[in-house]
């Protein structure tokens, strides 16, 4: 599968839509990537396992259909009584579906350049990164752009894991998993009515619903990354309203694939067991969603590499974080009053092109040499309580996996 039209000429890194504006960091899982912290370099000897989300994309088919429907409802207004809505008169929805946008392809390209430089000591002609991707066009294209145009070495995409079979890079393996619909609807009922009423006041006859508010707000991030300029939809909403939109995304993932969903973390167990195998150099031990055929072969799952890179989806990364014990909250996320001190913030967890990096270090501390592991999410070093989560993975989810099929 070819790359998305980039070759060796990625979009410039000073593109105005990735300047880290506060509003853009309130787009939850649709935020453009930004480092959650300044990277702290480890000692020189380490092995690396990199997990990365695909780059910025067009909306899914269902989301696009919903946004288009909401635009049609707004355009049915008899008149527009505020200048901020003037653009709606001649507006036409024209976004594509599912695939990477050029900016998203550039995100993956730039991530590859960053990681090649950061871990250059681990790579040579005989020891290239081993790269896998889940079988989705946008994920595969992200992997291919990540591998492209390194001046010295050119790793290949070695394995595409089929999403119709066992796949640790995709979250559709647990038929009985619930959804976060009830939780996100509860929060929508809190923050959307005031916005709906304001828009209906300035667009008499539109009769917008609460769900339309979410759809129209979503046009802002999707159009911004697609057209590489701030969408006119963005200015219709205040900074406080964007914070509410962010929390809607937080709840969507927390109660969809995270700790608020009983069977959310178990969908990440297979990947955690693959990670343990790579860190220890021992065969994968797992009876959840691993592909045993692929994982038992040194060709499709080698254990002797210094650098591994996997490409996945945001939902699956949320399950992996939860299986690892990252971003645990002291209480379930409140459905009506966001905790400003929470660490579960989607734009810091799974923005477009999000990445989790696991570094295995060989260090000498106080004269004693030992092996250590650290995990970074979007360059932010994570605290270590996740070490205890190995037991959850080693026991195949402590009975949760069986509940997926009861």
Q: How many Å apart are CA 321 and CA 308, to the nearest integer?
A: 18
The set of long-range contacts for 273-279, using a CB threshold of 8 Å and a minimum separation of 24, is: 273/393, 273/394, 274/168, 274/301, 275/49, 275/358, 276/390, 276/393, 276/394, 277/301, 277/303, 278/47, 278/49, 278/303, 278/305, 278/308, 279/47, 279/49, 279/358, 279/360, 279/373
CA distances from 111 to 52, 104, 176, 387 (A): 9, 11, 35, 27
The CATH code that applies to domain 23-403 is 3.40.50.1240
* In the block, residue with structure tokens 């927390």: 254
Task: Give 57's DSSP letter.
Answer: B
Q: Token digits for 353?
A: 């092109």
Counting every residue written for the chain, the total comes to 406
Catalytic residues: 54
Q: How many Å apart are CA 215 and CA 245, to the nearest integer?
A: 11
Give the contacts of 65 (CB within 8 A, at least 6 positions apart).
Answer: none
Per residue of the chain (406 residues), give pLDDT as tens: 333 433 333 333 334 344 335 678 889 998 988 889 999 887 666 678 889 999 999 999 999 999 999 999 999 999 999 999 999 999 999 999 999 999 999 999 999 999 988 988 889 999 999 999 999 999 999 999 999 866 678 889 999 999 888 999 999 999 999 999 999 999 999 999 999 999 999 999 999 999 999 999 999 999 999 999 999 999 999 999 999 999 999 999 999 999 999 999 999 999 999 999 999 999 999 999 999 999 999 999 999 999 999 999 999 999 999 999 999 999 999 999 999 999 999 999 999 999 999 998 887 767 778 888 899 999 999 987 656 678 999 999 999 999 999 8
Chain centre distance of CA 29: 6
Query: Strand pairing partners for 381?
Result: 376
Entry pTM:
0.93
CA distances from 9 to 91, 135, 362 (A): 31, 25, 37
Q: How many Å apart are CA 356 and CA 21, to the nearest integer?
A: 23
Q: How many Å apart are CA 131 and CA 9, to the nearest integer?
A: 22
CA distances from 4 to 11, 138, 143 (A): 12, 9, 11
Nearest alpha carbon to residue 60 among 93, 27, 98: 98
The answer to whether 130 touches 157, Cβ cutoff 8 Å, is no
Q: How many Å apart are CA 157 and CA 42, to the nearest integer?
A: 27
């Amino acid at each position: 599968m070819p790359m998305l039209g980039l070759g060796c000429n990625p979009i410039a890194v000073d593109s105005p839509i990735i300047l880290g504006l506060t509003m853009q960091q309130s787009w939850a899982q649709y935020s453009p990537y930004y480092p959650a912290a300044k990277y702290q370099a480890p000692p020189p000897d380490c092995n690396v396992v990199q997990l990365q989300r695909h780059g910025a994309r067009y909306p899914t088919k269902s989301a696009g259909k919903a946004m288009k429907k909401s635009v049609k409802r707004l355009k049915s207004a008899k008149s527009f009584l505020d200048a901020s809505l003037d653009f709606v008169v001649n507006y036409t929805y024209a976004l594509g579906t599912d695939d990477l946008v050029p900016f998203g392809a550039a995100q993956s390209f730039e991530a590859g350049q960053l990681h090649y430089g950061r871990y250059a000591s681990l790579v040579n002609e005989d020891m290239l990164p081993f790269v896998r991707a889940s079988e989705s066009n946008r994920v595969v294209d992200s992997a291919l752009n990540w591998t492209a145009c390194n001046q010295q070495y050119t790793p290949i995409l070695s394995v595409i894991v089929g999403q119709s079979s066992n796949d640790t890079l995709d979250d559709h393996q647990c038929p009985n998993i619930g959804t976060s619909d009830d939780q996100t609807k509860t929060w929508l009922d809190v923050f959307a009515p005031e916005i709906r009423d304001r828009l209906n006041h300035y667009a008499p006859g539109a009769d917008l619903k609460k769900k339309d508010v979410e759809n129209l707000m979503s046009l802002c991030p999707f159009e911004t990354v697609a057209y590489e300029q701030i969408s006119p939809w963005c200015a219709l909403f205040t900074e406080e309203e964007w914070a509410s939109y962010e929390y809607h995304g937080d709840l969507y993932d927390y109660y969809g694939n995270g700790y608020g969903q009983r069977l959310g973390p178990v969908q990440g167990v297979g990947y955690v067991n693959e990670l343990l195998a790579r860190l220890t150099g021992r065969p994968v031990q797992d009876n959840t969603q691993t592909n045993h055929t692929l994982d038992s072969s040194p060709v499709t799952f080698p254990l002797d590499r210094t650098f591994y890179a996997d490409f996945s989806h945001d939902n699956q990364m949320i399950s992996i974080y939860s299986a690892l014990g990252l971003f645990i909250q002291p209480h379930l996320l409140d459905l009506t009053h966001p905790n400003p001190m929470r660490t579960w913030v989607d734009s810091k967890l799974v923005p477009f092109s999000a990445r989790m990096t696991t570094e295995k270090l060989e260090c000498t501390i106080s004269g004693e040499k030992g092996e250590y592991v650290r995990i970074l999410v979007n360059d932010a070093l994570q605290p270590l309580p996740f070490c205890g989560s190995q037991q959850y993975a080693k026991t195949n989810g402590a009975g949760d996996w069986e509940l997926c099929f009861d």
